[in-house]
Structure 1
Amino acid sequence: MASVLSYESLVHAVAGAVGSVTAMTVFFPLDTARLRLQVDEKRKSKTTHMVLLEIIKEEGLLAPYRGWFPVISSLCCSNFVYFYTFNSLKAVWVKGQRSTTGKDLIVGFVAGVVNVLLTTPLWVVNTRLKLQGAKFRNEDIVPTNYKGIIDAFHQIIRDEGILALWNGTFPSLLLVFNPAIQFMFYEGLKRQVLKKRMKLSSLDVFIIGAVSKAIATTVTYPMQTVQSILRFGRHRLNPENRTLGSLRNVLYLLHQRVKRFGIMGLYKGLEAKLLQTVLTAALMFLVYEKLTAATLTVMGLKNARQH
């Protein structure tokens, strides 16, 4: 229990949250481009900078940063929960022994499930706010009019029921493999580098963070597309195809996507997603490692856990 409530877990959680917020803010426009390509089926696949130029031209200079605050709020909560759970579980399970790739994957998966169940409502709201006021090519999309985070919560619960806040939970639970795979590769690659030298350089952390995220993103991308469509929830779908992102719903959306656009339709927006997530993850891990090390040094705590 002491490991779960330790200062060290708190330091990791805060460092993870600060790292992710810093990185997401820097690369936020890339996420805007990715989301448009996933949700707006009629928008043609173009290079990331072309999509961003279109958005700026049609909707104004600040449009790529639309919905920044709700995304950052959700990300801060989400990464705090994930890093806290991951490091607490690892501290309890590993207890000073050497960690393994298998343990990292299992701990990452459990931390991901906890994170999804607690933070999905925040992500549903921020997906809606991020796309509000966007000029869609797809006329089947129903527009929204939310005044902010609280109003969005209120309207969704009033008009669609409280369970709508957990739209996309099923693909999100499948997607916990994304951070689990990412952390497995990150911790594994880190261990390999540390065998050869005493300390990781900033460049090492940046490259390891980038490689681990690129692998995880490519493997899980089709499910991320389905997750975005379900969270947005404004497509005129049949009622039975809107319930909580059930398996039937996920398979239906994947099938529709392949039928309309071929197998590559599942990877629409991948270029923007890879650019954004790889750079974001690399910068996030860099800030996270530096902040954790500095804080633990200042607090006089040695990071006793083996990585």
Structure 2
Amino acid sequence: MLRGVYYYFYQIFRDRAEAIARENKRNGIGDGSVGMLSSLMVAALAGCTNVLLTNPIWVVVTRMQTHTKNSNKSQPGHSSIAPDEKGLDPIECPPYGTGHAIQELYDEAGIQGFWKGVFPTLIMVSNPSMQFMLYETMLKKLKRKRALVKQGDTGVAALEIFLLGALAKLGATVVTYPLLVVKSRLQAKQTTTGDKRHHYEGTLDAILKMIRYEGLHGFYKGMSTKIVQSVLAAAVLFMIKEELVRGARMLLTKGGTSRGRTRPA
């Protein structure tokens, strides 16, 4: 659903950019296509809109995912299963749900707490921006080459779309993954006692502490798994998106042709 928010706004901004490009062509400016810089701006606008709308959801999700781990670290000897006073069977602690995470976050930082990590997340807008820029650029070059070889035929196969989407996402992920790590560290519950290496005052503090205590490789923890998951997902989404857009255009074209052939009695 959250990815759908991005694609929704991306398509809106993309349609607007294409309309501007066509208008510029009629005025003798450009070739009527959306350039690389415009593609980057469209993706960035869609990304910023998506971040501002969905960041509170990601903060709550991250808080829930890291709750048990942080609780055990911040309170020595504490675990989600605690023994009773007589040392008999362990007593299970109350479950930690969405409501608990929201209340804890609000008590800790107020309303602004739901936008923790929004700064590196906004910078991470460059990930889908790079992804879409690379994708649109490679797609345009492929269509141009295909048109020269097949005399005007610019059709692209689903497998080619899949591979282009995978390559675009791979390039964007390698460049921006460190920002994802910093964002996750900031959104997790901060330890106020004990080990101060994992207590971050802000984005810059998190970056400096990670460099000092973990080295540069700390920014790439878990990247291999992320690449497999995100690259595959992006490739499939690009392929489905292009097929849906192609199908919708065919239906609209057929509908317009049918209406054009109809004559009043």
Task: Please indicate, yes or no, whether the TM-score normalized by the shorter chain is above 0.5.
Answer: yes
CA distance in 2, matches of 1:183, 1:232: 29
Of the candidates 274, 279, 282, which is equivalent to residue 232 of structure 2? 279
CA distance in 1, matches of 2:208, 2:135: 33
Render the CA deviation track for 1:21-50: whole Å, top value 9, x for unaligned.
xxxxxxxxxxxxxxxxxxxxxxxxxxxxxx
Render the CA deviation track for 1:102-128: whole Å, top value 9, x for unaligned.
111122222222221222112212222
Structure 1's unaligned 5+ residue stretches are: 1-72, 243-248, 303-307
Asked whether the 8 Å contact 2:186–2:206 carries over to 1, the reply is: no
1:42 is aligned to none
2:97 is aligned to 147
Of the candidates 18, 22, 44, which is equivalent to residue 91 of structure 1? 18
Instruction: Quote the sequence identity (%).
Output: 30
Deviation at 1:210, TM superposition (A): 0.7
CA distance in 1, matches of 2:174, 2:184: 16
Compared with structure 1, are the counterparts of its residues 130 and 296 closer, same or farther at alpha carbon in structure 2 (3 Å cutoff)?
Answer: farther
Deviation at 1:293, TM superposition (A): 1.6
What TM-score comes out, normalization by structure 2 length?
A: 0.72
CA distance in 2, matches of 1:138, 1:219: 33
| Number of positions where the alignment pairs a residue of Structure 1 with one of Structure 2 | 220
Counterpart code for 1:94: A
CA distance in 2, matches of 1:176, 1:264: 22
1:183 counterpart = 2:132: yes
Render the CA deviation track for 1:202-232: whole Å, top value 9, x for unaligned.
1111111111111111111111100111122
1:106 counterpart = 2:41: yes
Max radius of gyration: which structure? Answer: 2
Greater Cα offset, 286-295 or 177-186? 286-295
Deviation at 1:158, TM superposition (A): 4.0
Asked whether the 8 Å contact 1:89–1:107 carries over to 2, the reply is: no
Asked whether the 8 Å contact 1:167–1:231 carries over to 2, the reply is: yes
Compared with structure 1, are the counterparts of its residues 80 and 125 closer, same or farther at alpha carbon in structure 2 (3 Å cutoff)?
Answer: farther
Higher relative contact order (CA 8 A, sep 6+): 1
1:76 is aligned to 4
What TM-score comes out, normalization by structure 1 length?
A: 0.63
CA distance in 2, matches of 1:204, 1:280: 15
Counterpart code for 2:162: F
1:233 counterpart = 2:186: no
1:125 counterpart = 2:53: no
1:41 is aligned to none
Asked whether the 8 Å contact 2:6–2:47 carries over to 1, the reply is: no
1:157 counterpart = 2:106: yes
Asked whether the 8 Å contact 1:221–1:270 carries over to 2, the reply is: yes
Deviation at 1:78, TM superposition (A): 4.1
Render the CA deviation track for 1:51-95: whole Å, top value 9, x for unaligned.
xxxxxxxxxxxxxxxxxxxxxx433334434x2443244234323
Asked whether the 8 Å contact 1:210–1:282 carries over to 2, the reply is: yes
Counterpart code for 1:230: L
Counterpart code for 1:115: N
Asked whether the 8 Å contact 2:48–2:125 carries over to 1, the reply is: yes
Compared with structure 1, are the counterparts of its residues 169 and 286 closer, same or farther at alpha carbon in structure 2 (3 Å cutoff)?
Answer: same
Deviation at 1:201, TM superposition (A): 0.9
CA distance in 2, matches of 1:299, 1:151: 49
CA distance in 2, matches of 1:107, 1:77: 14
